[in-house]
């Protein structure tokens, strides 16, 4: 979201600067029509394009060129989107940049006041679709980046046991885990207190958890909003603190995203995926649903189904706090095992992961 705020400011600033310098309204209409058409085509194509993480089970990092492409995409994304944005944020803060809302409003007002309602509406629609197109392009880049990060993560789980141990330890330093610890301190406090005080604390359980989620997920947006209101009231509509707030918000948002990714990973499933992709030499069925990937890894077909069609599809997301039967892993595993046991024809296809039965 912080990136989208930056993107919105960037789009508004440079596109308005462009259209303000176009002298001919007819030329502006032609150019904006062409830009709108391009944006509609790109947005439609990106909206219908779905990069499915499940194809990782078909396409591992087997060859040297696969490793080169994978590392190139990861390094390029980190350098350009994370390193580049961080550099620009620091540069803006060091230069003391600000946004004069009154001056910006006057420029926009003077530009649109000489237009018809149709032209003003048309240009506004063009600006909106340009921003939407940018958002879809960034989402696609981020999904490609996550696809390659997941491939690299599974490969490292297969290659280095120490990597798995390190990843497990990193969970304790994630934002989600730290916030859980702080919340736990609150509920440990009333232990040994009077019975009435315990009931009082228990009654606040839902409120405390709600407040924790608000602070954890939205504190940086709240700070940005407060600073903008402060500048509007006390600084004559000149946003001087916005870029400083965006710098720290970007750092916090990056830490939150990384923490969320690590916290919800299930390393047992990751190791099973790594074995299935890189180390399986043959599959042996012990009974109707239990199979062996190699001598050390035994699982059920339901385990593979849930890992592929839920855990991997959701980007290595495993929320153990959910008790919804439709998303509970044990429930789905049992359902799929029962269905698989009734259809022996699927066993002939199971070695071909592209033909993996997709029942539920």
Average pLDDT over residues 62-91: 88
Number of Cβ atoms within 10 Å of the Cβ of 306: 24
Domain map of the chain by residue range? 1-159, 160-263, 267-355
CA-based torsion, 38, 39, 42, 44: positive or negative: negative
Q: Which two tokens stand for residue 314?
A: 């959701």
| Higher local confidence (pLDDT), 181 or 49 | 49
Instruction: From 14, 30, 35, 26, select the one nearest 115 (Cα to Cα).
Output: 26
Least confident stretch, 20-24, 32-36, 214-218, 323-327: 323-327
Q: pLDDT value at position 326?
A: 47
Q: Does 25 score more than 70 pLDDT?
A: no
Q: pLDDT value at position 70?
A: 93
| Higher local confidence (pLDDT), 128 or 349 | 128
Please name the residues in contact with 337: beta carbons below 8 A apart, sequence gap of 6 or more.
289, 300, 301, 302
Q: Does 343 score more than 70 pLDDT?
A: no
Q: Beta 290-292 vs 99-100: how paired, if at all?
A: unpaired
Measured between alpha carbons, how far is 19 from 324 in angstroms, rounded to an integer? 52
pTM for this model (two decimals): 0.80
Q: How confident is the model at residue 16 (pLDDT cuts 50, 70, 90)?
A: low
| Higher local confidence (pLDDT), 286 or 234 | 234
């Amino acid at each position: 979201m912080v990136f989208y705020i930056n993107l919105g400011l960037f789009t508004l600033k440079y596109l308005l600067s462009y259209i303000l310098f176009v002298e001919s309204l007819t030329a502006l209409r032609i150019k904006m029509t062409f830009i709108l058409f391009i944006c509609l085509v790109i947005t439609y194509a990106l909206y219908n394009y779905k990069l499915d993480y499940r194809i990782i089970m078909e396409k591992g990092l087997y060859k040297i060129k696969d490793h080169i492409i994978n590392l190139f995409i990861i390094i390029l994304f980190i350098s350009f989107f994370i390193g580049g944005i961080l550099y620009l944020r620091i540069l803006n803060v060091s230069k003391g940049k600000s946004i004069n809302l009154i001056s910006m409003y006057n420029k926009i007002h003077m530009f649109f006041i000489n237009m018809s309602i149709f032209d003003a509406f048309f240009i506004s629609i063009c600006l909106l679709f340009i921003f939407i197109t940018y958002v879809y392009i960034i989402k696609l880049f981020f999904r490609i980046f996550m696809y390659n990060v997941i491939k690299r993560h599974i490969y490292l789980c297969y290659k280095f046991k120490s990597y798995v141990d390190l990843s497990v330890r990193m969970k304790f330093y994630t934002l989600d885990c730290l916030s859980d610890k702080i919340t736990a301190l609150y509920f440990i406090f009333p232990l040994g207190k009077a019975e009435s005080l315990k009931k009082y604390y228990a009654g606040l359980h839902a409120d405390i958890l709600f407040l924790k989620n608000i602070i954890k997920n939205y504190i940086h947006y709240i700070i940005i909003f407060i600073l903008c209101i402060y500048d509007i009231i006390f600084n004559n509509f000149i946003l001087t603190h916005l870029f400083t707030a965006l710098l720290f918000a970007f750092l916090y948002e990056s830490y939150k995203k990384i923490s969320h990714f690590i916290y919800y990973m299930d390393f047992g499933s990751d190791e099973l995926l790594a074995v299935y992709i890189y180390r399986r030499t043959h599959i042996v069925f012990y009974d109707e649903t239990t199979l062996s990937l190699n001598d050390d890894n035994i699982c059920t077909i339901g385990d593979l189904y849930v890992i592929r069609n839920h855990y991997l599809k959701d980007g290595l997301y495993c929320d153990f706090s959910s008790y919804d039967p439709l998303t509970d892993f044990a429930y789905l595993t049992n359902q799929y095992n029962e269905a698989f046991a009734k259809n022996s024809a699927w066993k002939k296809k199971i070695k071909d992961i592209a033909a993996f039965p997709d029942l539920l």
